[in-house]
Amino acid sequence: MNLSQEDWVSQLEADTNAVILDVRTEDEWNDGFIENAINIDIYKGQGFIYAVEELDKSKNYYVYCKAGGRSQQACDVMNQLGFENTYNLVGGMLQWSGKVIVP
């Protein structure tokens, strides 16, 4: 499901079963990420699928990338793998105005 930044953040903050998933590359991750996010690079192809299949399907996943395209793809893949609750951040990090952690 696509959510605006405002809806994504408000839903995330109220969700006690949430996982934040960053699907960008390691270089992008190193430029800064949303607090408490885990990083699984969607460009790793089958490696991405293997890593995602290790995740708990009972959790709610808040997914983002740089602009919203890859995270939408990731949500689609996750839904096909049996994840019921995936939420795509429309606009991604390009439009993110919240806190950013720089490693």
Q: Could you give the residue numbers annotated as active site?
A: 65
42-70 residues labelled b (16+ CB within 10 A) or e (exposed):
beeeeebeeebeebeeebbbbbbbbebeb
> Cβ(26)–Cβ(44) under 8 Å?
no
Q: What are phi and psi of 94, to 5 degrees?
A: -65, -30
Reduced to 3 states, what is the DSSP secondary structure of residue 62?
A: strand
Q: In what side-by-side order are the strands of the sheet with 60-64?
A: 2-3, 86-89, 60-64, 18-22, 38-39
